[in-house]
């Protein structure tokens, strides 16, 4: 008897309306021993799956007529084809909503175009191996059933023969009693019957050995299935249906979710507290009653230690040890969802940042005109105390507005900052010194500065302002008092952490700055919006909603990252990570008296009011001013008056020709030209780039007359 299993063909169906895509898939899989079958439409694929069983369907989503989602749903609806695994192959599944639509349609996985050969071959190999093992089990099962049926028939026939032999013996005995003379022949016949019994006994012995061999083969098959169950990379649970009593779990379930085997077996998921939402369990069991199969049921479960994990459940009904049970496979998608949420939040913050930067740019243009006009008006109203008071109010309001736009620019990472080496511990002590004057005595300020390397490169004013904002927010969260703790520690962020972070950070040595409070804390809903500009939970008039947005912008502008954890009634912890710097660099600020200048200055700005105010300020400083409304006009004026122009003050954002293009064109025409860039913001890296191109400095709007004088003097000072 031959027990050797025949070679099993592994058919794979490739569905795509484009022949070149089918050819590409066939080329990638042709040398792996698979039987590759093509289909150019959803209808053709459905017909093929009805005629032939497949180990896997590689299904394109975007096809004319019937698309991939509809084809998958029809396959799942047909009892003959619903077991066939489906992997979507498309360029559109990178969007998470299409991924979940694919999973809802019945797919077990997806491949994004262009296809990575190794990923394709690896995933196909897994499903091909599962198909091969399933077919082998089916063949073994069929063979054993035939073998048992054959042996049962033979045993029955042997028993009948034995019964007949016994009846013959009785007949012979009666004949011996009736006919004494036939004794010798009866003796001979009895001997022959004895030989037949011995032969029957031998035949039964052989049949028993064959049955034992078949039973051993069945046990080995069960052992193989148990091994597959235990080594599966996905957590698996077998529970009774519908009671939900757990009968078996694999090692992965214990490793992933922490439940010991002896703590689980014989209990229900409700008794274990496995379900985070009891209504979800009811819905899951209801679907199992209706469908007998579930694919991609999205829910949350609790681990042995009480942590909530997001999972997708795949379940089917089966007979397990003569009891109807559910085979449930758990796909943990907690990290995937966390990353998706972080990416969505980062993208949203970037969009809001772009909007904030654009608004701040326009505000700064107007504030430049307001502050410049106010400075020029002083000489005309200095003998009128009432007018001077009103003028002072205008200057204070404009300066406050400039601070608000500065916070917007800090959030949008488009502000100008001074890159110097900053001692973080000193900045923390300075921030605490300022906080001590503004917080209630019921609040205690503590420090735990463990970091040994504390020097970073950045703008000390912006970093101090970020720490002050965090301290003030902590103060507002503790109306009844509490503790604010500033802590530091040195950490190393590796490439794995940086690649998974939604922030643009580089692996290396960082300082972790922690600001923790024991205040009221925040809910999950508030945490999702905490860094958005103008979002505030404070009463009207008690907050602008820009503080934490500015902190976010400052930290990202310094090539760092920020995280926040909070729990209502417990408190909040903000953690800032800034890259450590090497070496020392100090900026020195000098105050200079205003002296009258000389020479010509070309002022280029598309805002008429800024040209008017700028002209007045520069003429007041002693310069002769030439005006241009855009880049093309600037080129014309400079070509005509370049002998009289010592400096060009160039706006960055202009119609027709941008400031950068104008800079390049001016330098091409006159390599020795001196150009001062002026803008309401500069994008990260832009100032350095423009200086490499030949700019002599950067003047940030809004500016006062002193700042204008300093920037102009620095740009043309060495010509005197």
> Which CATH number does the domain housing residue 327 bear?
3.30.450.20
Where do runs of H (alpha helix) occur along 413-510? 424-435, 460-476, 495-500
Q: Is the pLDDT of residue 160 over 50?
A: yes
Reported as a pLDDT band with limits 50, 70 and 90, residue 496 is confident
pLDDT tens digits, 683-702:
434 566 777 777 888 887 77
Most trustworthy range by pLDDT among 27-41, 130-144, 164-178, 517-531: 27-41
Contacts with 383 (C-beta within 8 Å, 6 or more apart), sequence order: none
Does 315 reside within a domain? yes
Q: Is the pLDDT of residue 26 over 70?
A: yes
Q: Is the pLDDT of residue 674 over 80?
A: yes
| Cα dihedral 603/605/611/617 (nearest 10) | -50
Of the ranges 209-223, 480-494, 617-631, which one carries the lowest mean pLDDT score?
209-223
Mean pLDDT score, 157-164: 76
pLDDT tens digits, 436-473:
877 888 899 999 999 988 899 888 878 888 898 898 88
| Of 187 and 592, more confident | 187
Of 303, 332, 361, which closes a domain? 332
Mean pLDDT score, 32-38: 89
Reported as a pLDDT band with limits 50, 70 and 90, residue 85 is very high
Do 615 and 625 meet the contact criterion of CB atoms below 8 Å apart? Answer: yes
Do 511 and 488 meet the contact criterion of CB atoms below 8 Å apart? Answer: yes
Report which secondary-structure segment, H or E, holds 336. helix 334-381
Task: Please state the domain count of the chain.
Answer: 5
Whether residue 263 sits in one domain with residue 205 = no
Among 9, 700, 715, 10, smallest CA distance to 363 is for 700
Q: Is the pLDDT of residue 3 over 80?
A: no
Do 325 and 238 meet the contact criterion of CB atoms below 8 Å apart? Answer: yes
Does 402 reside within a domain? no
Mean pLDDT score, 597-623: 85
| Cα dihedral 607/612/616/621 (nearest 10) | 30
Strand partners, 239: 246, 326
Question: Rounded to a whole number, what is the largest CA-CA distance in the chain?
Answer: 165
What is each CA distance from 74 to 41, 84, 92, 676, in whole angstroms? 13, 12, 21, 67
Among 311, 401, 470, 450, smallest CA distance to 701 is for 401
Most trustworthy range by pLDDT among 173-182, 338-347, 459-468, 637-646: 637-646
Does 343 reside within a domain? no
Q: Token pair of 136, please?
A: 């082998």
For residue 367, give the DSSP letter.
Answer: H
Whether residue 311 sits in one domain with residue 223 = no
Q: Is the pLDDT of residue 335 over 50?
A: yes
What is each CA distance from 563 to 314, 342, 551, in whole angstroms? 34, 11, 11
Does 415 reside within a domain? no
Percent of the chain residues past pLDDT 70, beyond the cut: 77
Reported as a pLDDT band with limits 50, 70 and 90, residue 278 is confident
Whether residue 619 sits in one domain with residue 568 = no
Average pLDDT, the chain: 80
Mean pLDDT score, 97-113: 77
Mean pLDDT score, 187-197: 72
The pLDDT of residue 618: 87
| Start-to-end CA span in the chain (Å) | 109
The pLDDT of residue 516: 94
> Which CATH number does the domain housing residue 88 bear?
3.40.50.2300
Of 579, 614, 644, which closes a domain? 579
Whether residue 684 sits in one domain with residue 568 = no
Of the ranges 417-421, 422-426, 470-474, 606-610, which one carries the lowest mean pLDDT score?
417-421
Look at residue 335 and give its three-state secondary structure.
Answer: helix
Q: What is the Cβ-side half-sphere exposure of residue 460, based on CA atoms within 13 angstroms?
A: 17
Reported as a pLDDT band with limits 50, 70 and 90, residue 411 is very low
Whether residue 572 sits in one domain with residue 467 = yes
Reported as a pLDDT band with limits 50, 70 and 90, residue 232 is confident
| Of 15 and 586, more confident | 15
Whether residue 444 sits in one domain with residue 566 = yes
Q: Are strands 508-517 and 571-579 parallel, antiparallel or unpaired?
A: antiparallel
Reported as a pLDDT band with limits 50, 70 and 90, residue 709 is confident
Do 514 and 574 meet the contact criterion of CB atoms below 8 Å apart? Answer: yes
Of 182, 206, 230, which closes a domain? 230
Q: Is the pLDDT of residue 39 over 90?
A: yes
Whether residue 619 sits in one domain with residue 524 = no
* Residue 242, preceding peptide bond in cis (omega within 30° of 0): yes
Q: State which residues form the domain around 41.
A: 11-115
Q: Is the pLDDT of residue 191 over 50?
A: yes
Q: Is the pLDDT of residue 413 over 50?
A: no
Report which secondary-structure segment, H or E, holds 422. strand 420-423
Alpha carbons 250 and 586: distance in angstroms, whole number: 61
Whether residue 654 sits in one domain with residue 571 = no
> Which CATH number does the domain housing residue 561 bear?
3.30.565.10
Does 342 reside within a domain? no
Whether residue 286 sits in one domain with residue 319 = yes
Whether residue 536 sits in one domain with residue 446 = yes
The pLDDT of residue 134: 86
Look at residue 534 and give its three-state secondary structure.
Answer: coil
Contacts with 200 (C-beta within 8 Å, 6 or more apart), sequence order: 158, 161, 162
Alpha carbons 433 and 436: distance in angstroms, whole number: 5
Among 72, 100, 104, smallest CA distance to 86 is for 72
Whether residue 109 sits in one domain with residue 200 = no
Of the ranges 129-138, 426-435, 692-701, which one carries the lowest mean pLDDT score?
692-701
Whether residue 325 sits in one domain with residue 469 = no
The pLDDT of residue 460: 80
Does 390 reside within a domain? no
Phi/psi of residue 59, each to 5°? Answer: -115, 120
Alpha carbons 700 and 405: distance in angstroms, whole number: 12
Q: Is the pLDDT of residue 535 over 80?
A: no
Angle, alpha carbons 315-102-300 (nearest 5°): 50
* Other residues' Cβ atoms within 10 Å of the Cβ of residue 190: 15
Give pTM, 2 decimals: 0.35
The pLDDT of residue 485: 94
Look at residue 586 and give its three-state secondary structure.
Answer: coil
Phi/psi of residue 27, each to 5°? Answer: -65, -40
| Of 325 and 397, more confident | 325
Does 411 reside within a domain? no
Does 539 reside within a domain? yes
Q: Is the pLDDT of residue 506 over 60?
A: yes
The pLDDT of residue 187: 64
Q: Is the pLDDT of residue 577 over 90?
A: yes
Of the ranges 64-68, 89-93, 406-410, which one carries the lowest mean pLDDT score?
406-410
Give counts: helices (H), strands (E), the chain: 22, 22
């Amino acid at each position: 008897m031959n027990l050797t299993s025949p070679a099993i063909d592994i058919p794979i169906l490739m569905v795509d309306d484009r022949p070149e895509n089918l050819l590409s898939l066939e080329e990638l899989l042709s040398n792996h021993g698979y039987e590759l079958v093509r289909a150019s439409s959803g209808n053709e694929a459905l017909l093929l799956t009805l005629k032939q069983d497949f180990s896997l369907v590689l299904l394109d989503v975007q096809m004319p007529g019937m698309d991939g989602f509809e084809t998958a749903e029809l396959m799942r609806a047909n009892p003959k084809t619903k077991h066939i695994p489906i992997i979507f192959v498309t360029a559109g599944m990178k969007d998470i909503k299409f991924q979940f639509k694919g999973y809802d349609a019945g797919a077990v996985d997806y491949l994004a175009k262009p296809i990575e050969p190794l990923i394709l071959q690896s995933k196909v190999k897994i499903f091909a191996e599962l198909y091969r093992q399933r077919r082998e089990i089916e063949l073994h099962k069929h063979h054993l059933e035939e073998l048992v049926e054959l042996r049962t028939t033979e045993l029955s026939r042997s028993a009948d023969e034995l019964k007949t032999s016994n009846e013959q013996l009785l007949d012979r005995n009666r004949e011996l009693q009736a006919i004494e003379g036939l004794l010798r022949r009866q003796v001979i016949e009895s001997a022959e019957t004895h030989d037949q019994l011995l032969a029957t006994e031998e035949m039964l012995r052989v049949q028993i050995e064959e049955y034992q061999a078949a039973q051993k083969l069945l046990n080995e098959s069960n052992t193989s299935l148990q091994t597959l169950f235990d080594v599966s990379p996905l957590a698996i649970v077998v529970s009774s249906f519908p009671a939900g009593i757990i009968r078996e779990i694999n090692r992965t379930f214990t490793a992933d979710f922490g439940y010991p085997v002896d703590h689980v077996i014989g209990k229900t998921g409700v008794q274990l507290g496995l379900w985070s939402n009891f209504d979800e369990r009811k819905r899951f069991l209801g679907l199992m009653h209706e469908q007998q199969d579930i694919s991609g049921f999205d829910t949350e479960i609790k681990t042995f230690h009480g942590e909530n994990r997001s999972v997708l459940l795949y379940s089917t009904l089966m007979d397990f040890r003569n009891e109807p049970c559910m085979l449930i496979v758990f796909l943990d998608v907690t990290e995937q969802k966390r990353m998706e949420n972080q990416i969505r939040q980062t993208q949203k913050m970037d969009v809001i940042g772009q909007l904030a930067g654009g608004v701040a740019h326009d505000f700064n243009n107007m504030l430049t005109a307001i502050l410049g006009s106010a400075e020029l008006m002083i000489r005309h109203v200095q003998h009128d105390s009432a007018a001077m008071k009103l003028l002072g109010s205008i200057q204070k309001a404009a300066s406050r507005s400039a601070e608000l736009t500065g916070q917007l620019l800090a959030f949008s990472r488009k502000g100008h900052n001074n890159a110097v080496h900053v001692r973080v511990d000193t900045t923390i002590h300075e921030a605490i010194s300022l906080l001590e004057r503004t917080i209630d005595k019921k609040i205690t300020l503590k420090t735990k500065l463990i970091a040994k390397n504390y020097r970073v490169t950045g703008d000390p004013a912006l970093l101090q302002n970020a720490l002050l904002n965090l301290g003030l927010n902590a103060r507002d969260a503790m109306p009844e008092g509490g503790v604010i703790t500033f802590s530091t520690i040195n950490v190393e962020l590796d490439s794995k952490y940086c690649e998974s972070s939604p922030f643009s950070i580089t692996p290396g040595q960082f300082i972790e700055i922690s600001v923790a409070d024991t205040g009221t804390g925040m809910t999950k809903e508030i945490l999702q919006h905490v860094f958005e500009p103008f979002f505030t939970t404070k009463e009207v008039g008690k907050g602008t909603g820009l503080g934490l947005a500015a902190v976010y912008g400052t930290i990202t502008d310094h090539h760092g990252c920020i995280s926040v954890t909070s729990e209502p009634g417990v408190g909040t912890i903000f953690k800032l990570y800034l890259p450590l710097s090497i070496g020392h660099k100090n900026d020195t600020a000098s105050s200079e008296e205003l002296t009258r200048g000389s020479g010509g200055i070309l002022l280029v700005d598309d805002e008429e009011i800024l040209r008017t105010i700028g002209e007045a300020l520069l003429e007041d400083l002693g310069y002769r001013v030439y005006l241009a409304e855009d880049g093309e006009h600037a080129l014309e004026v400079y070509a005509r008056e370049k002998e009289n122009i010592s400096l060009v003050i160039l706006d960055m954002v202009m119609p027709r020709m941008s400031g950068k293009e104008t800079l390049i064109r001016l330098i091409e025409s006159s390599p020795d030209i001196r150009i001062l860039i002026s803008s309401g913001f500069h994008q990260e890296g832009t100032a350095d780039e423009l200086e490499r191109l030949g700019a002599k400095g950067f003047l940030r709007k809004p500016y006062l007359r002193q700042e204008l004088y300093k920037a102009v003097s620095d740009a043309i000072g060495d010509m005197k």
